[in-house]
Amino acid sequence: MAFDLNGDGRPDFLIPVECDGKRNCVMAVFLAASPCPAALGRLGDASGADYGVDGRSDAIRPLRSLTSHGIALVSGEAGLHHAENTSVWAWDGSTWLHVHDDYRSWEVRGARVDRDRSLGLRADAASICLDPSAAVATFDIDSDGRRDSVYRVPCRDHEDGHGCGNWVTATRGACRIPLGVLADGVVVLSQPARADQPAIVRVTPAGQGGARIEYRFDPAPGPAGLELAASRACDRTGCDTAWTPAKRMEPER
């Protein structure tokens, strides 16, 4: 399958090299170059627990709005037993990192089907360096005098119209480092982080009758300096007093 990953107008190639019998494959990536294509690592995981992407061409696509080290992020679907996962992969300058999951599962219980969904950044996301691109919102989330950016990531085409949420990133030199994934909707900064307070970002989803979600970003070690810690629901009368820790947040929170 051919995609332009580096924006030079020439098709680059993803070639299945290891598959698990259900079309989920590790992909070898090659950039178009003269006189020979240039190898750009392998995208996927052949451990048996998490194959990278479905080998069908319609299950893989570059996220052209986001690049890391000049290479487009890649979204790929994988089919599992009673589950499906959309992964996002990013080139970090030397290897492809698995940085985001949108995982949906279901279990048939007689006439009832129980469904579950989780989505969010993986630990490796803190190691990537997103290049500047068009953002849906900008603000200074950490009060360091630099504008930080929010990107809407359309990693899956579903009937519900959702993508993989809004990615909040912190500006560090020439890099944008992902901090957390928020629900789809209009994103504004309610409170910047300072020495004595966390950052609070508010999202207003479309068609929710005034319902909103607030997300809290607490100080954290590492280059990003902040991490998504918790969320709470709000409406026209105010917000919940209790925060839900990030590890227990519902998919759309």
Q: Which of 81, 100, 131 corresponds to the end of one domain?
A: 131
The answer on 175 and 147 residing in a single domain is: yes
pLDDT bucket at 131, cuts 50 / 70 / 90: very high
C-alpha to C-alpha distance for 22 and 51, rounded to whole angstroms: 10
Taking a C-beta distance cutoff of 8 angstroms, is the pair 16, 23 a contact? no
The answer on 158 and 230 residing in a single domain is: yes
pLDDT bucket at 94, cuts 50 / 70 / 90: very high
**Residue range 41-59: average pLDDT?**
72
Asked if pLDDT for residue 208 goes beyond 90, the answer is no
Residues 6+ apart with CB under 8 A from 194: 143
> What is the structure's pLDDT at 47?
67
Task: Calculate the alpha carbon distances from 169 to 30, 80, 146, 150 in Å.
Answer: 28, 30, 12, 6
Instruction: Look over the chain and give the mean of its residue pLDDT values, rounded to a whole number.
Output: 84
The answer on 234 and 181 residing in a single domain is: yes
Taking a C-beta distance cutoff of 8 angstroms, is the pair 226, 171 a contact? no
The answer on 1 and 16 residing in a single domain is: yes
Range of the structural domain that residue 64 is part of: 1-131
Amino acid at residue number 19: C
Asked if pLDDT for residue 43 goes beyond 70, the answer is yes
The answer on 101 and 5 residing in a single domain is: yes
Task: Calculate the alpha carbon distances from 94 to 24, 41, 207, 222, 224 in Å.
Answer: 23, 8, 42, 20, 20
Q: Which of 107, 131, 155 corresponds to the end of one domain?
A: 131
C-alpha to C-alpha distance for 51 and 46, rounded to whole angstroms: 6
The answer on 136 and 11 residing in a single domain is: no
> What is the structure's pLDDT at 102?
80
The answer on 232 and 160 residing in a single domain is: yes
Long-range Cβ contacts of 250-253 (<8 Å, 24+ apart): 251/117, 251/118, 251/119, 252/183, 252/205, 252/213, 253/183, 253/213
The answer on 97 and 155 residing in a single domain is: no
The answer on 97 and 60 residing in a single domain is: yes
- β-strand 186-191 against 199-204: which pairing, if any? antiparallel
DSSP letters for 128-184: --BPP---SEEE-TTSSSS-EEEEE------TT---S-EEEEEEETTEEEEEEEE-S
The answer on 181 and 120 residing in a single domain is: no
The answer on 169 and 48 residing in a single domain is: no
- Number of structural domains the chain divides into: 2
Tell me the sheet residues that pair with 152. 166
Q: φ and ψ at 70, to 5 degrees?
A: 80, 0
Q: Which of 71, 101, 131 corresponds to the end of one domain?
A: 131
The answer on 109 and 138 residing in a single domain is: no
